[in-house]
Amino acid sequence: MEETQNYWRKCGSCKKEIGFNSIYQSCSVSTCKKAVFCSVNCWNLHNEVMSHKSAWAEENRSPRKEEVTASDERAPKRILVQSKPAADSNASGVADEQDILIVASKLKAYIKDKYDMNTSANVMEMLSHQVRRLTDRAVEKARAEGRKTVMDRDYE
C-alpha cells in the first residue's frame, strides 16, 4: 500500500473530501447509511434528490486515519456488517431499521372506522421511522438515568 489517501471519504453531494477525525453528516435513513456529507447543506441536497419523507442529518465524526488504515490492511476482520442475516437479529441485538413496527391492520381499521378513509402502505414505514426515532430518544433518557428498562415517561 504505497498510495496514502489523505482524506477519509468524499461528500455524497459536492464530492468534497472529508478528512479523518472530522465532523461529517450522514442520512438518518438506514438505506443511505453509507453516504456521507460534508455539511448539512449537502445532506439537504441529497434529501431533495431522494425526497425522503422523514429524514434528518446526523452529525458524526469520521475515524482517525490510523483506525482506517489498520482495518484496511488487516482486511475482513473489522468490516462492518451492513446486512446481517435475519435469523441473527435477536442474538446480535442489532435491530432491523426497515422493520414495520406498526400493526397495519389495526391502524387501517382505526382510520377506516373513524374517518372512513384508506391508508397508504408507506404510512406504516413512516410511522415505524417515527417510533424508532422516539424510541432512540427514550432509550437515551433511560440510559441517562442508569436504567435498563425503557418506561412510558421516557417518551414524554
Q: 9 or 108: whose CB is closer to Zn ion?
A: 9
We find the least distance from the C-beta atom of residue 82 to Zn ion, in angstroms, to be: 15
What is d(CA 61, CA 3) in angstroms, rounded to the nearest whole number? 24
We find the least distance from the C-beta atom of residue 134 to Zn ion, in angstroms, to be: 20
We find the least distance from the C-beta atom of residue 118 to Zn ion, in angstroms, to be: 28
Give per-residue burial for 95-134: e unless 16+ CB within 10 Å, then b.
eeeeeeebeeeeebeeeeeeeeeeeeeebbbebbbeebee
What is d(CA 25, CA 44) in angstroms, rounded to the nearest whole number? 10
We find the least distance from the C-beta atom of residue 62 to Zn ion, in angstroms, to be: 13
Question: Which neighbouring-strand residues pair with 57?
Answer: 27
Q: 26 or 108: whose CB is closer to Zn ion?
A: 26
Q: 20 or 108: whose CB is closer to Zn ion?
A: 20
We find the least distance from the C-beta atom of residue 22 to Zn ion, in angstroms, to be: 13
Interface residues with Zn ion (CB under 5 A)?
11, 13-14, 16, 27, 29, 32, 38, 42, 50
Answer whether 97's CB lies under 8 Å from 132's CB.
yes
Residue 97 makes CB contacts below 8 A (sequence gap 6+) with 30, 132
Q: 33 or 65: whose CB is closer to Zn ion?
A: 33
End-to-end C-alpha distance for the chain, whole angstroms: 52
